[in-house]
């Protein structure tokens, strides 16, 4: 192996091509730039051939195309090594690449010549145009024959399409209603539980972490009793909007019921991430909210739990976040608490 590497990359016994050019900057630059541009052009041609073959499923000469791609790519590599040898005399590697290029070029030429008769046998554009005209005339004739049948089936097809559309719309609406809260349009408890189970399983398999936030509005019953349920509903909708605007697009915000919300924050992988998001949530929720002449101050107690080895199921994770919510409530509300490390009896403040 050492002998092979020395043969390919050994430079002690040689001088780079730059010496032959007397290290004249203009000559060295001209050779380097020319070889570089030629290499880029060579590398673009295999990409064009590959694109053509991919977009023409009827193309059958994949072996010849593959040889051309390999041959032209090796030609590009020889020019890249030509730039390299201006400064590093890796002539062994250069010779090996040239040898490979020669072998592939010979194989390409051998494969190309038998293909010439097949290419020449392809119909000319004039013949293709004539066949196209005949085919078009036949198509027009059949269209006239089938016109009556199309008219007969048109009404039936329209009705089937309308019915299919109505069923699809009804199904989509039912699925949406089954997984979303009707008031806030957030994910509901069912959708939240499904996603929590999926995300927890993904975190176990990938050995990654995410955070669960549970938010419970403070004194929401008093707001309902004082201002009525319409104002209460408006507050729930505004809280949902603020929570959604505070998280990443791939985080899930859900309304679990009543005045309880939850966030599955994939963007929070450690305690510091969770603290930053918690501060942002508390700050945005406590901003005043005006509705029909009322100035209201939504507040929430937020509990946070992160996945860790001691929490091996989603139910325990949710229970941990729920305990942290009660800790925030006991602290006076309008704050957040992060569930403590394993086996501590109560959530810990940040």
Spatial separation of the C-alpha atoms in residues 266 and 249, rounded to whole Å: 10
**Residue 109 burial by Cβ neighbours in a 10 Å radius (0-12, 13-18, 19+):** exposed
Residue 4 has a pLDDT of: 55
Ordered DSSP codes for 211-255: EEEEEEETTHHHHHHHH-HHHHHHHHHHHHHHHHHHS-TTSEEEE
Query: Which CATH number fits the domain 189-338, given the four candidates 3.40.50.150, 3.40.50.360, 3.50.50.60, 3.30.70.270?
Result: 3.30.70.270
Which of these ranges, 44-48, 58-62, 297-301, has the smallest mean pLDDT?
58-62
Please tell me the predicted confidence (pLDDT) of residue 296: 80
Among candidate residues 328, 72, 60, 321, the one with its CA nearest the CA of residue 212:
321
pLDDT band at residue 5 using 50, 70 and 90 as cut-offs? low
CA–CA gap between residue 93 and residue 209 (Å, rounded): 47
Q: Using one digit for the tens of pLDDT, what is the confidence trace for 302-313?
A: 999 998 765 668
User: Token digits for 153?
Assistant: 């089936």
Across-strand partners of 231?
none
Residue 324 has pLDDT above 90, yes or no: yes
| Helix/strand/coil for 295 | strand
Can you say how many angstroms the Cα of residue 288 is from the centroid of all Cα atoms in its chain? 37
What is the 3-state secondary structure of 97-141?
HHHHHHHHHHHHHHHHCCHHHHHHCCCCHHHHHHHHHHHHHHHHH
Domain boundaries, the chain: 2-120, 130-179, 189-338
Structure tokens at 321: 């976040």
Cβ-proximal residues to 222 (8 Å cutoff; 6+ apart), any chain: none
- Token readout for 127 is 């013949």
C-alpha atoms less than 13 angstroms from C-alpha of 339 in its C-beta half-sphere: 26
pLDDT at site 262 = 96
- pLDDT tens, residue by residue, 169-191: 778 777 877 889 989 999 999 99
**Per DSSP, what are the bridge partners of residue 302?**
215, 336
69 secondary structure, DSSP code? H
The answer to whether residue 201 scores a pLDDT higher than 70 is: yes
**What percent of the chain has pLDDT above 90?**
29
Strand bridging mode 336-338 / 300-306:
parallel
């Amino acid at each position: 192996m050492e002998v092979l590497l020395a043969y390919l990359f050994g430079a002690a016994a040689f001088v780079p091509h730059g010496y032959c050019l007397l290290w004249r900057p203009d000559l060295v630059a001209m050779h380097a730039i020319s070889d570089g541009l030629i290499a880029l052009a060579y590398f673009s041609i295999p990409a064009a051939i590959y694109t053509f073959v991919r977009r023409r499923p009827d193309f059958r000469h994949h072996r010849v195309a593959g040889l051309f791609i390999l041959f032209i790519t090796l030609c590009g590599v020889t020019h890249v090594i030509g730039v390299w040898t201006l400064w590093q005399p890796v002539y062994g590697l250069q010779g090996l690449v040239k040898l490979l290029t020669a072998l592939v070029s010979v194989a390409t030429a051998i494969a190309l010549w038998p293909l010439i008769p097949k290419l020449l046998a392809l119909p000319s554009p004039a013949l293709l145009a004539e066949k196209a005209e005949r085919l078009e005339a036949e198509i027009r004739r059949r269209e006239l024959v089938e016109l009556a049948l199309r008219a007969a089936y048109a009404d039936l097809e329209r009705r089937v399409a309308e019915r299919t559309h109505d069923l699809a719309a009804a199904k989509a609406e039912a699925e949406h209603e089954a997984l979303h809260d009707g008031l806030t349009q957030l994910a509901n408890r069912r959708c939240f539980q499904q996603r929590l189970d999926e995300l927890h399983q993904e975190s176990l398999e990938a050995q990654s972490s995410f955070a669960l936030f549970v938010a419970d509005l403070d004194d929401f019953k008093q707001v309902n009793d004082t201002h009525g349920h319409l104002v209460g509903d408006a507050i729930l909708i505004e809280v949902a909007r603020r929570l959604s605007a505070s998280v990443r697009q791939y985080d899930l915000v859900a309304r679990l019921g009543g005045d309880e919300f939850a966030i599955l924050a994939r963007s929070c992988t450690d305690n510091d991430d969770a603290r930053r998001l918690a501060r942002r949530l508390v700050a945005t929720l406590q901003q005043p909210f005006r509705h029909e002449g009322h100035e209201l101050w939504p507040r929430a107690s937020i509990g946070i739990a992160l996945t860790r080895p001691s929490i091996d199921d989603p139910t325990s994770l949710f229970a941990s976040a729920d305990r942290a919510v009660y800790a925030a409530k006991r602290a006076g509300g309008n704050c957040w608490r992060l569930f403590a490390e394993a086996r501590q009896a109560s959530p810990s403040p940040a």
